[in-house]
Amino acid sequence: MPDFVRLRLRQPDVAALDDVAASVAEALAASNLFNLPAGSEIAVAVGSRGIAQIDTVARAAVAWLKGRGYAPFIVPGMGSHGGGTAEGQRAVLAKLGVTEDAMGCQIRATMDTVQYADLADGTTCHFDAHAARADGVLVINRVKAHTSFPRPIESGLTKMLAVGLGKAGGARQVHMIGPRGFDETLPALARKIIDNAPITAGLALVENSHKQLSHIEAVAPANFAETDMRLLETAKKAMARLPFDQLDGLLIERLGKDISGAGIDPAISGRTDIRGVDNPATPFIHKIAALALTDRTDGNGIGVGMADYIPRAMANALDLQAMYMNAITATILEKAYIPIVLPDEATVIRALVATCWSAGAPRLCHIISSAQLDEIAVTANLLPELKAQGVVIDHDDPAPLRFDETGTLLNRLER
């Protein structure tokens, strides 16, 4: 078992917003998009996991709408997540801090949809029934790289319309077509929804490399697609990354839906693993071990199939119903495959090291998650390489991994 060097890694430096709630209010006020009569019901669509301060954003939006005399309520915009049930989606929102008490308004959760006219190829256009009956809809989502393959529009306001507010039916319509569903069907469904649903505005969010909100912009419905494309470039430039093209092994402390829609971000793992879609050229990582699920993923271990090893405790924590519902709706099953299960974390890490194809000292990296890369640990042989790149802020001395009597890793990076 090699020693590891703990270090702080330099990432793209984009300033975080000083006051997120104030930024929400300023963006909405400056948009001049809300010209509905007083008392109008406004559905506020929230739901994508892992967004920094999403509870603050949603609460500020609700408060701003109330201050203008509107009657806002929240709808979950999360496709088939939460096990594909209204109760499950309400529970996911609660995990995000989005509750009726915290928001000061109702949460109306349903899996029922209205159906607008089919697309030319026969695809059915679904839209959340509660949102469809509202006088207006405010769509809130983060613009970022998606977990499948690069394209002009990835995650953002457009995806929230077609997949998030399309509920399970809408998500299924996009995913069942395969890559073409993301590239062509998703934008077409969003355009159909904008033409038929009472969409008033979008609130586009961008995060920096430290998982802090760095940009908030109110957007007119007609500009959703253009804004998603423009801000996607901004988001990708600000992404945190590992400074390696190749690793023999990657040790990940946690994976989950709040980390990435794929559990582990393919930009970090190098594993998209969608049939018919090439994996990223870099990084190439020969073996991956994951140790646990995040608390907020609620047992949905989608992405576990990207790992080669997990400990028994992690396998026992998987909610197979939630994970399989997610995988089947997405029609991408590989991410739900269960890898080799070993008794404990020590055995998992030993297997990771033992099966690396390395003639010399293995090139190994240890991270908290694919979304937390400010502090990592690497085998000592990688430190000179990172110093030469100028990405090391500071580092500790090499130290061995330590385990307790149950085989649990003691010197975790997550504090």
290 within some domain: yes
366 within some domain: yes
20 within some domain: no
How big is the chain by its Cα radius of gyration, in Å? 22
User: Are 197 and 149 in a shared domain?
Assistant: yes
* Residue 35 CA: distances (Å) to CA of 53, 61, 250: 27, 16, 52
404 within some domain: no
Domain holding 40: CATH number?
A: 3.40.50.11440
User: Are 127 and 231 in a shared domain?
Assistant: yes
From 238, 256, 282, the end of a domain falls on: 238
283 within some domain: yes
Give pLDDT, residue 19.
97
Q: Mean pLDDT across the stretch 187-210? A: 93
Give pLDDT, residue 59.
97
CB 158 within 8 A of CB 203: no
CB 189 within 8 A of CB 173: yes
Give pLDDT, residue 183.
65
User: Are 210 and 282 in a shared domain?
Assistant: no
Residues with Cβ < 8 Å from 385, sequence gap 6 or more?
none
User: Are 234 and 329 in a shared domain?
Assistant: no
141-153 residue pLDDT tens:
999 876 655 566 7
User: Are 283 and 216 in a shared domain?
Assistant: no
Domain total in the chain: 2
Q: Mean pLDDT across the stretch 288-304? A: 92
User: Are 218 and 278 in a shared domain?
Assistant: no
412 within some domain: no
User: Are 231 and 284 in a shared domain?
Assistant: no
Checking if the pLDDT of 175 tops 70, the result is: no
CB 6 within 8 A of CB 401: no
Instruction: Identify the domain containing residue 191 by its residue range.
Output: 33-238
Exposed, middle or buried, 229 (CB in 10 Å: 0-12/13-18/19+)? middle
410 within some domain: no
222-232 residue pLDDT tens:
999 999 999 99
364 within some domain: yes
337-394 residue pLDDT tens:
999 999 999 999 999 999 988 878 899 999 999 989 999 999 999 999 999 999 999 9
